[in-house]
Amino acid sequence: MRLAAAEARERTLGGIYTFSAYLLWGFLPLYFLLLDPTGPWELVAWRILLSLAFCALLLTVTRTWPRLAAIFRQPKVLGLTVIAGLLIYVNWQVFIYGALSGHVIETSLGYFINPIATVLLAVLVLRERLRATQWVAIGVAACAVLVIMIGYGAFPWIALTLAASFGLYGLVKKKVGPSVDAVSGLTLETMWLTPIAVVVLIVVGATQGLTMGADGWEHAVLLSLAGIVTAIPLLLFAAGARRVSLTTIGLLQFVAPILQFIIGVWVLQEPMPLERWIGFGLVWVALIILTVDSVVHARRSRVAAS
């Protein structure tokens, strides 16, 4: 009885942690907009450096530097963290560019498409076999992208880049597995990106001028929080993912793009013509098909196992 209660408590905690992570990710566009006039290149550079500093502080407080040092004795794992770092850099840069350039709706589309991109990557990279309903979902999503391209007259490169980069990032993290914990992983990823961040800050400083400290103390404080704002959702997600099923994570992951969509349409008043509504509608149909298939398959697997 006590064991069952403890397991239920862990699942509840996991759900709260995971939901909190996606909730914070959903509100990120509003935080980045508060950092005006900081541009996307400078913002990502500070995000990298400040995330590294925050992770170093966490490693010191939790006395887990030996855990990080142990990863350096695993060359293959270390190489995968380099790839993960480059992928998350692309994701961060494109997301912040979208948020600061009036394309929050398109960033939400990217994260709506992400589960479908993940399924497609499983076929192309891991050679997994898909069920018929999963193929239907991919087909409907492809139609959605075509509708947006043809009707809206623009290639949704922000959405597709976000979906592809985060999907590949998830694939690499799966390859890394439990050998790298959340804090050590983010530390390594931001450490590999530090030279890029330094070069970007030098170029921005020489051409446009850095905004850190140049736009009042309130702006400086908000910009200084970029590391914490980056790290906390990732740590919450890592804590939640260990406690809940993949089905629960799959259902909760729609919290972030739904919030971003609401912010883009009703808060920022971004244009949403009919063809875009149709495209998004098709994406949502594809996600419903994928989610129902995932839930049914997980239930059948549990019944078969019991």
In this prediction, residue 83 carries a pLDDT of 95
pLDDT reading at 178 higher than 70:
yes
For 68-80, give one letter per residue: b (16+ CB within 10 A) or e.
Answer: beebeeeeebeeb
- The answer to whether 84 and 169 have CB atoms below 8 angstroms apart is yes
Q: Report the SS3 class of residue 209.
A: coil
Residues contacting residue 232 through CB under 8 Å, at least 6 positions apart: 24
C-alpha span between 160 and 11 (Å, rounded): 33
In this prediction, residue 246 carries a pLDDT of 63
In this prediction, residue 92 carries a pLDDT of 95
Report the pLDDT averaged over residues 131-153. 85
Residues contacting residue 109 through CB under 8 Å, at least 6 positions apart: 148, 156, 159, 257, 279, 280, 283
Q: Range with the lowest mean pLDDT among 40-54, 155-169, 170-184? A: 170-184
For residue 156, cis peptide bond before it (omega within 30 degrees of 0): no
pLDDT-based confidence at residue 100 (cuts at 50, 70, 90): very high
In this prediction, residue 247 carries a pLDDT of 65
- The answer to whether 121 and 110 have CB atoms below 8 angstroms apart is no
pLDDT reading at 81 higher than 80:
yes
pLDDT reading at 1 higher than 70:
no
Question: Positive or negative CA dihedral for 279, 285, 291, 294?
Answer: negative
Residues contacting residue 47 through CB under 8 Å, at least 6 positions apart: 92, 96, 226, 227, 230
- The answer to whether 285 and 138 have CB atoms below 8 angstroms apart is no
Q: pLDDT digits over 226-249, tens only?
A: 999 998 998 888 788 777 776 677
Domain ranges of the chain: 2-305
C-alpha span between 170 and 180 (Å, rounded): 14
In this prediction, residue 199 carries a pLDDT of 97
Give, rounded to a whole angstrom, the gap between the first and last alpha carbons of the chain: 19
pLDDT reading at 224 higher than 80:
yes
The two structure tokens encoding residue 82: 């380099």
Q: pLDDT digits over 21-37, tens only?
A: 999 999 999 999 999 99
> How many other CB atoms sit within 10 Å of the CB of residue 296?
12
Q: pLDDT digits over 254-281, tens only?
A: 899 999 999 999 999 998 888 889 999 9
Q: pLDDT digits over 115-130, tens only?
A: 888 888 877 887 778 7
C-alpha span between 20 and 74 (Å, rounded): 32
> How many other CB atoms sit within 10 Å of the CB of residue 227?
23
Q: Where are the alpha helices (DSSP H) in the chain?
A: 2-34, 40-62, 65-71, 75-100, 104-124, 132-152, 157-176, 182-207, 217-224, 226-241, 246-252, 255-262, 274-305
Percent of the chain at pLDDT exceeding 70:
97
pLDDT reading at 251 higher than 90:
no
CA 53-192-90 angle, 5° bins: 100
Identity of the amino acid at 165: S
